[in-house]
Structure 1
């Protein structure tokens, strides 16, 4: 029960995180802001023990009204993994509805108050029914961009128009029948929409999500209205409330925190000595690493081009022999780098990326053009938008790194005239992004609307 000496809690929000990839961290970031803005509201945050231990390594900056709860990961006792893709995700998803119900009931008992809002990762489409049963509202967070959200919202229309599975001959066709998707090709959309394994647990989850989201009290995303104005209007007509509240990367730093930036390998200090717009920053996120041949091609392209670089690379085993010694003065390879901070520096001239949404938005926020090498999911969509919609970067030739291809990309973005155009476009978007999160900007206005939807102030 709540301590009787504490102020009465006026609402109880259950926050359901998806504990894989980079989903839980941005949801926690939003939850922190909501909790700080509404200190009399209890926020019960649910994720797996492994996810929570990573997210809450320090409780010093966690508002007192966020209560952390572990939920089972869905892996049966004694289970032996077969090594299938997404195996852990599938086990979690299958058991999630019942596990969440049980743990939410326990949290209600602990807080002494029923949940009146479910704030969840949009993946949890079953929250629509759970919230209805609990007489609570459902507010869903789509952690990626508006283009991919649109693809999942209109999955049935895409399947009816393009067909399913055997769409090989139509992969180059564009989705002009959906407003805002005129430059998006069939081959750019995520697996499981009209090609790939449409019957997998994950494909089914996304399909069900697209059907369920119009039932939500609000759907919000980590973006800003001005980045995709067509989608802002279109999705605004599909959902009860559609709210862009980002870029979150521009909201997560404070002067105190900036003084304590974690830079264990000295990347920021190294960058500060380099000329403006000269350095290639290379990172493919926490999940993917290019195949060994492409890692070698990146290294060979860098060495041959003489472009200064910072490369975040978990394993250096596939680098060409002697590469680190030969490029000691040219660049540094580190197992981890403070990406958001590096992308703010004037020295950063291009970001070589897998095009995960968080990475794209951090690059937009820093005004840095991109060289894109997508792998799966929404990454191809994001790369396509970078190249032909926003014109702030390019996709690697034929989708794979080669020494010569990478050299040409670096030269185009860092030296050629169309690279200068990409830089100008990126700088304009950066200015608009910063304006969006200002006190009178669109994202700040939308955050106030989100706060109202979540805590009913």
Structure 2
């Protein structure tokens, strides 16, 4: 994800930032492009250009706003590795916040730094790495595969791991109890300290009135009223995030499966034109279709039975904390590996597997839904999801694994100031 630059700040007029905590100041810097430039049209070009303009503009922002105040630390995400150079230029220690699973950190580190992969990755190859399940080629993050069309992202990751020793700390949006083996496998190489799950207090059973966050789009709040009318653990929630674009055949397969199961469903579809003709009318008493959802509140709702997801890490963490089992349909990036973890490590769901033509069938989707809601593994999925929910909540409470890491991090910064 690109950083929160001036253009993104100015162009997010339709986004919602609510109730920022007192003491937090939101600043932005120019990314070198006009407001009307389509930053998603050529991601490689945009990120390459940003890497040239970013260090100077970030450094200027630091000098402009903090010339009389010493910054204690800069925390950056892994896709703007140039931020660490701007930090060091100004004498500020830098921490990286890894925004994917710690398991992905371990995979990338061993790929870029230790060369523990075959020279050429071919189909059906098995990769064995410490702290991780056996991985087939299709379980690897898409940026490592020969089919990867985002060469710029491959280079971004390569650059980040080349500069990894410049970071004073590597933090992660995960928690120790979730990825114990992967985290411990990195202890002697380049430690990563989980400080998550970084989710709203609502999901953590911390009943705070403060609602902090930025909505990428205006959510449809009618979904909560609709969910209130459904039976507990009865609704199939379907959402594939803000970036995934599914084919017409895939959309038709999902629509047919949802209709055939006769379970109530809540489906996030960006534009109604993506749906099969007549589907919305045919299922108006069975389901609800909305353009964007209040996902954390939806997942926390007692009527939700399972979540059909693309396996973006934020969505997965929200599902873990809500105790909701998942049906995985990964698309790209870290998602194939995340889906592998859902099935084989966390054991809270099933994975949809495309057929020889690359498209999932409605029969396979229906079978997965049946297995998730009433199959022989049904109780196991619910139990494992409940265990992860409790572990996630405990990790961020006083004395929990993530809370201790945050306290350690803050204390080290305080001693340096």
The whole-number CA distance in structure 2 between the counterparts of 1:382 and 1:199 is 19
Partner of 1:34: none
The CA RMSD measured in Å over matched residues stands at 3.0
Post-superposition Cα deviations, 1:415-451, rounded to whole Å, max 9, x if no partner, equal 1012332222111111111111222211111121222
1:172 corresponds to? 124
Q: Secondary structure at the match of 1:68?
A: coil
**Which residue matches 1:328?**
284
Rounded Cα–Cα distance in structure 2 between residues aligned with 1:51 and 1:144: 24
Q: How far apart, CA to CA, are the structure 2 residues paired with 1:194 and 1:163?
A: 11
Distance of 2:412 and 2:345 partners within structure 1: 32
**Structure 1 equivalent of residue 198 of structure 2:** 248
> What corresponds to 2:360 in structure 1?
401
Q: CA-to-partner distance for each residue in 1:102-153, whole Å, 9 max, x for gaps?
A: 22222233xx124342221122223343333332211111111111111221
Query: How is 1:15-414 mapped onto 2 (pairs within 5 angstroms)?
Result: 19=2, 47-51=5-9, 54=12, 61-75=19-33, 83-109=41-67, 112-156=68-112, 159=115, 161-164=117-120, 167-168=121-122, 171-176=123-128, 178-197=129-148, 200-239=151-190, 242-251=192-201, 254-257=207-210, 264-398=220-354, 400-414=359-373
For residues 310 and 292 of structure 1, what CA distance do their matches in structure 2 show?
19
5+ residue gaps, structure 1: 1-17, 25-46
The alignment partner of 1:337 has SS state of coil
User: Is this contact kept in 1: 2:103–2:182, CA < 8 A?
Assistant: yes
**Pairing 1:444–2:403 present:** yes
Q: Take 1:332 and 1:445, find their aligned partners in 2: how far apart are those partners?
A: 42
CA 1:183/1:272 → structure 2, altered by over 3 Å: closer, same or farther?
farther
CA distance in 2, matches of 1:438, 1:453: 20
Q: Given the superposition, is the C-alpha separation of residues 79 and 379 from structure 1 closer, same or farther in structure 2, using an over 3 Å criterion?
A: closer
Q: Does the CA contact (< 8 Å) of 1:74 and 1:94 recur in 2?
A: no
- Are residues 182 and 73 of structure 1, via their aligned partners in 2, closer, same or farther at CA, if it must alter by over 3 Å? same
Distance 1:155 1:267 in 2: 43
Structure 2, unaligned stretches of length 5 or more? Answer: none
- Calculate the TM-score normalised by the size of structure 2: 0.87
Per-residue CA distance 1:209-243 (angstroms, 9 max, x = gap): 1232243211111111000101221233333x632
Mapping for residues 412-427 of structure 1, pairs under 5 Å = 412-427=371-386
Q: Secondary structure at the match of 1:310?
A: strand
Change (3 A) 1:243 1:288: same
Q: Is the 8 A contact 1:122 1:213 kept in 2?
A: no
Structure number with higher relative contact order (C-alpha < 8 Å, ≥ 6 residues apart)? 2
**Pair 1:153–1:72, CA change in 2 (3 A):** same
TM-score normalized with structure 1 length: 0.80
In structure 1, the residue corresponding to 2:25 is in which secondary structure?
Answer: strand
Distance 1:433 1:55 in 2: 33
**Poorly superposed stretches of 4+, deviation over 6 Å:** 55-60, 76-82, 258-263
Q: Number of paired residues?
A: 407
